[in-house]
């Protein structure tokens, strides 16, 4: 089956975190249309079982496949860690995750070979970043840290409030005394907490987000497969959420700078839109 070049790119996440990836796609790939699904109603994925994450991710991917996407970007680290191979086997279009690009960027950024990985419980337990980094370089020391309180701060819209600093400080306390020169934001929600995280990390630590590197992979994959949209006729992005429209819309406006984003509700247990 031939995939149309002007077909949209599908982006999925457990909630609003994947908007950090969507923002980079919209900025760096101006000819590409995106359709986004955020599973806010069942977020966060980090504490959930592997079986649940697989089920929920497959529901989002199936919904996007029915909408005719030409590529799927799994903009959720937890979902990437446990579902990437399964999704690649299931669907005829290319499926990209965010872990390998983030790992690659961190190895390039680090000069000491000591890298901290901040992620959800599920991502940290999966050791996906350790495996991805080790595949690039066996001389890297990895310091993993689960930060389960971070995603709720973003999903609730509290990420811009000053009173979250004690929560950030408490979450990062276990690695405060350790030496590392690079920290991976191993969850796409975390870039919305970039500044408060930076304030609590040792001075000089480089912070790596996988979003930009992921878009480089998107661009090279589309080009390599002859799927890049060169017509310049991009449609406005469409955003679906399984949760409340108001909360998602507010964060989309703030983070993407889109005045009136097209945000719709979707029911994934019985794929379809309301």
Which CATH number is associated with domain 99-210? Answer: 3.40.50.1860
pLDDT tens profile 211-231 = 888 999 999 999 999 999 988
Q: What is the overall mean pLDDT for the chain?
A: 93
DSSP labels, 107-166: HHH-SSSEEEEEE-HHHHHHTHHHHHHHHH-TT-EEEEEE-TTHHHHHHTTGGG-GGGHH
- List the domain boundaries for the chain: 9-97+212-273, 99-210
pLDDT given at position 271: 41
Task: Catalytic residue, from 43, 76, 147, 273: name it.
Answer: 76
Task: Catalytic residue, from 43, 147, 187, 273: name it.
Answer: 187
How many Cβ atoms sit within 10 Å of the Cβ of residue 260?
9
187 in active site: yes
Q: Which residue has the tokens 């599973």?
A: 39
273 in active site: no
Q: H helices of the chain, where? A: 19-28, 50-66, 77-90, 99-109, 121-126, 128-136, 150-155, 165-172, 194-200, 210-224, 245-256
pLDDT given at position 272: 39
Would you say residue 84 has pLDDT above 60? yes
Show Cβ contacts of residue 233 under 8 Å, excluding neighbours closer than 6 positions: 6, 31
Fold match flag (9-97+212-273 vs 99-210): yes
What pTM was computed for the model?
A: 0.91
Output the six-digit token pair for 85.
């191979």
Look at the alpha carbons of 103, 10, 21, 187 in this order and tell me if their dihedral is positive or negative.
Answer: negative
Output the six-digit token pair for 52.
């649940």
Please compute the mean of the pLDDT values over residues 162-166 and round it to a whole number.
88
Contact indicator for 180, 115 with CB cutoff of 8 Å = yes
Q: Would you place residue 105 in the very low, low, confident or very high pLDDT band (cuts 50, 70, 90)?
A: very high
Assigned architecture for domain 9-97+212-273: 3-Layer(aba) Sandwich (3.40)
pLDDT tens profile 108-123 = 999 999 999 999 999 9
Output the six-digit token pair for 258.
């889109």
| Length in residues, the chain | 274
pLDDT given at position 1: 64
Q: Which residue has the tokens 């975190």?
A: 17
């Amino acid at each position: 089956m031939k995939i149309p070049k002007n077909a949209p790119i599908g982006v999925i996440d457990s909630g609003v975190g994947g908007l950090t990836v969507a923002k980079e796609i919209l900025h760096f790939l101006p000819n590409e249309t995106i359709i986004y699904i955020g599973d806010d109603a069942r977020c966060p994925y980090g504490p959930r079982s592997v079986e649940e994450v697989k089920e929920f991710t497959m529901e989002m991917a199936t919904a996007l496949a029915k909408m005719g996407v030409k590529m799927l970007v799994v903009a959720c680290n937890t979902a990437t860690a446990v579902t990437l191979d399964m999704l690649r086997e299931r669907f005829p279009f290319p499926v990209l995750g965010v872990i390998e690009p983030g790992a690659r960027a961190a190895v390039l950024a680090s000069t000491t070979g000591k890298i901290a990985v901040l992620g959800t419980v599920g991502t940290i337990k999966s050791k996906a970043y350790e495996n991805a980094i080790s595949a690039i370089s066996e001389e890297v020391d990895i310091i993993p840290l689960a930060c389960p309180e971070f995603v709720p701060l973003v999903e609730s819209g509290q990420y811009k409030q000053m009173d979250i600093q004690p929560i950030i400080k408490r979450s990062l306390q276990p690695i405060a005394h350790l030496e590392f020169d690079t920290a991976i934001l191993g969850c796409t929600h975390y870039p919305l907490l970039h500044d408060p995280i930076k304030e609590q990390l040792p001075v000089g630590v480089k912070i790596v987000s996988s979003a930009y590197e992921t878009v480089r992979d998107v661009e090279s994959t589309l080009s390599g497969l002859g799927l890049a949209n060169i017509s310049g006729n991009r449609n406005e992005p469409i955003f679906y959420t399984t949760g409340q429209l108001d909360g998602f819309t507010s964060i989309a406006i703030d983070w993407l700078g889109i005045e009136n984003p097209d945000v719709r509700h979707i029911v994934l247990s019985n794929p379809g839109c309301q």
